[in-house]
Amino acid sequence: MSRPLPPNPPVNLPDGDFAGYIFDCDGTLADSMPPHYRAWRYAYEKHNAKFDFTWELFYSLAGAGLHDSVRILNERFGDNLDPDAVVATQSEDLEKEFQRIEPIEPVVTLARELAKTHPVSVASGGGRVHVHETLKSVGLEGFFPVIVTKDDVANSKPAPDTFLRAAELMGVPPEKCLVFEDSKLGLKAAEAAGMEWVYIEPELYSAGSGI
């Protein structure tokens, strides 16, 4: 159905009569996953987590809400970390990293081209402030007319809420939307929303592989 993007532009779209395009933010439009990882690792170490927060563990949770991520790890490792405290530490440390975030150029270029003829939007599991700051950091401030974050829906990815809300605000039926995502949870959310997707492979586009 869908396939990974090639490692270099131009980006080839899968066959289909798509009327709207939905982009994840972190790891898809912005190479912000390495800064996120460093901030999460710092937060877990500061709060004496029982587990080693590896890059692989981090990416397995990509797309989940911030607090949900902590709860999932508590359950998985038998820990009792305070989600509010860990997220607060992570968010504070992440603010120092914004200047280091780079755009993922092939995807940004594609978004700019598609926006000339079709509705485009962002649907992210991040918080509203963070998503807007990230888009600003990669030169996309004010570009997307529709931005949906975890603060705008009842359930974060892998629930379909974020993508369905973006489709609704674009005025496009879900089955006519194509989603661009870098996380497995995000892909599950797209499928739950009845949307096709293109996988932005972290190994091809993120500097995180060198962490």
Residue-wise pLDDT tens digits, 10-22: 556 888 899 999 9
Cis peptide upstream of residue 158 (ω within 30 degrees of 0): yes
- The whole-number pLDDT of residue 1 equals 41
Residue 133 and residue 39 in contact, taking contact as beta carbons nearer than 8 Å: no
For the chain, how far is it from start to end, CA to CA, in angstroms?
Answer: 32
- The whole-number pLDDT of residue 187 equals 94
Task: Of 8-17, 68-77, 140-149, give the lowest mean pLDDT range.
Answer: 8-17
B/e letters for 154-184, b = 16+ CB within 10 Å, e = fewer, are: eebbbbbbbbbbbbebbebebebbbbbbbbb
* pLDDT band per the 50, 70, 90 thresholds, residue 62: confident
- The whole-number pLDDT of residue 211 equals 54
Residue-wise pLDDT tens digits, 22-54: 999 988 999 887 888 889 999 999 999 999 999
What are the start-end ranges of the H helices in 4-65? Answer: 33-46, 55-60
